[in-house]
C-alpha cells in the first residue's frame, strides 16, 4: 500500500506535443496528497493540454505520469479507464451532456459504474447538486441554465463518484466575483471533506493565492516550466521576470521594443 506521504501523481520529464508542434517539455512535478496544485501560465501556453495528458485524452510524446507509482500511459485502455474512475474532471466548457438533464448528467457515472439502486442514486444526485447549490436545477436541461450554473453542475458531476483526484480547468472563468469566491470555499471544503487532491488551472490570482498550496508555472516562449511552488510564495519570492509579471499583473516584462528585438532578432 502506498504511504500517505508519497505523491499521489508524479510527472517525470513529460513532453506534450500536437504532431511535430511541442507545447511543453521537461515537465516534472509531484502532486502531494491533499494538496491544491495550481497550473499557471499565459494564455495558450498548454495548461489545458497538460491536463488532457493527465486524464488520458492526449498521449504524451515522451515522459511518464505515475499514478501512485503506476505508469499511466504504459497501461492498456481498460486499466486507464479504471484509473480514470478515481479522477473527477471539470472541463473548461463544463461539457455537460446536452441531451440529458442536469440530474441525469450527475447520475450517469453512478448508474454506469456502481451497483447502487436507482432511488439511492437519486438521493446521491440531490446531495451532490446540493453541495454546489444546484438542487433546484435537477430536472433542467443544460441549455436552460446559465454559464455559471453549468460550471457548478459540471463540478457536481465531477464529484459524482467521490474521486480522490479532481481536475478543474478554469472553474471560475465567467463567474461573478461573489460566486467565484464561494467556489473557492467550495473547493477547500471538497478537498477537506472528500480528502481529495486537486489540480486547478486558473487565471484568478486572488483565488490562487487563497487556496493553492503548490503549483507550476508554464512558459509559452521556452515551452518549459520555469517555476515551481505555491502561487503566494512565487508572488512574494520569485525573481523570474515572467513570473513576477504574471503574479503582479504587469503588461510587459521589459520595455516593449526590447522584448521584440529579443524574440524576433
Ligand X SMILES: Nc1ncnc2c1ncn2[C@@H]1O[C@H](COP(=O)(O)OP(=O)(O)OP(=O)(O)O)[C@@H](O)[C@H]1O
Binding of other proteins by 112 (CB under 8 A):
yes
247: left (phi over 0), alpha (psi -120 to 50) or beta: alpha
Whether the CB-CB separation of 61 and 17 falls below 8 Å is answered with yes
Q: Which does 249 bind (CB under 5 to 8 A by kind): ligand X, Mg ion, other proteins, none?
A: none
Distance between CA atoms of residues 42 and 220, nearest Å: 7
Whether the CB-CB separation of 196 and 190 falls below 8 Å is answered with yes
CA distance to 15, 28, 79, 229, per residue, from 154 (Å): 29, 29, 25, 28
Distance between CA atoms of residues 265 and 23, nearest Å: 22
Return the number of the residue (101 or 172) whose C-beta is nearest Mg ion. Answer: 172
Binding of other proteins by 197 (CB under 8 A):
no
Return the number of the residue (34 or 42) whose C-beta is nearest Mg ion. Answer: 42
Fill in the DSSP letter of residue 45: S
Binding of Mg ion by 93 (CB under 5 A):
no
Whether the CB-CB separation of 27 and 14 falls below 8 Å is answered with yes
Question: C-beta of 219: minimal distance to Mg ion in Å?
Answer: 15
Q: Per CB under 5 A, which region of 6-14, 42-50, 137-145, 149-157 contacts Mg ion?
A: 42-50
Return the number of the residue (8 or 90) whose C-beta is nearest other proteins. Answer: 90
Binding of other proteins by 132 (CB under 8 A):
no
Which residues bind to Mg ion, rule: CB under 5 A? 48
Which residues bind to other proteins, rule: CB under 8 A? 52, 55-57, 81-82, 84-85, 87, 89, 91-93, 95-99, 108-109, 111-113, 256-257, 260, 264-265
Amino acid at each position: 500500500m502506498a504511504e500517505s506521504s508519497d505523491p499521489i501523481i508524479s510527472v517525470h520529464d513529460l513532453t506534450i506535443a500536437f504532431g511535430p508542434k511541442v507545447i511543453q517539455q521537461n515537465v516534472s512535478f509531484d502532486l502531494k496528497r491533499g494538496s491544491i496544485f495550481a497550473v499557471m501560465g499565459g494564455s495558450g501556453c498548454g495548461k489545458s493540454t497538460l491536463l488532457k495528458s493527465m486524464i488520458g485524452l492526449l498521449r504524451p510524446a515522451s515522459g511518464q505520469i505515475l499514478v501512485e507509482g503506476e505508469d499511466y500511459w504504459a497501461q492498456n485502455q481498460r486499466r486507464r479507464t479504471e484509473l480514470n474512475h478515481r479522477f473527477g474532471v471539470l472541463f473548461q466548457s463544463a461539457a455537460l451532456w446536452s441531451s440529458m438533464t442536469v440530474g441525469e448528467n450527475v447520475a450517469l457515472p453512478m448508474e454506469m459504474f456502481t451497483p447502487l439502486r436507482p432511488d439511492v442514486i437519486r438521493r446521491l444526485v440531490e446531495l451532490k447538486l446540493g453541495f454546489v447549490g444546484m438542487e433546484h436545477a435537477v430536472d433542467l436541461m443544460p441549455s436552460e441554465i446559465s454559464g455559471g450554473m453549468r460550471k457548478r453542475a459540471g463540478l457536481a458531476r465531477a464529484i459524482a463518484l467521490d474521486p480522490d483526484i479532481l481536475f478543474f480547468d478554469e472553474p471560475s472563468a465567467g463567474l461573478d466575483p461573489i460566486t467565484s469566491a464561494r467556489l473557492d470555499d467550495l473547493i477547500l471544503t471538497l478537498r477537506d471533506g472528500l480528502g481529495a487532491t486537486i489540480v486547478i488551472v486558473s487565471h484568478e490570482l486572488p483565488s490562487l493565492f487563497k487556496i493553492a498550496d503548490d503549483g507550476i508555472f508554464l512558459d509559452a516562449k521556452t515551452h518549459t516550466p520555469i517555476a515551481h511552488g505555491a502561487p503566494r510564495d512565487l508572488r512574494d519570492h520569485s525573481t523570474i521576470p515572467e513570473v513576477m509579471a504574471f503574479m503582479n499583473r504587469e503588461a510587459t516584462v521589459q520595455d516593449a521594443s526590447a522584448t521584440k528585438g529579443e524574440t524576433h532578432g
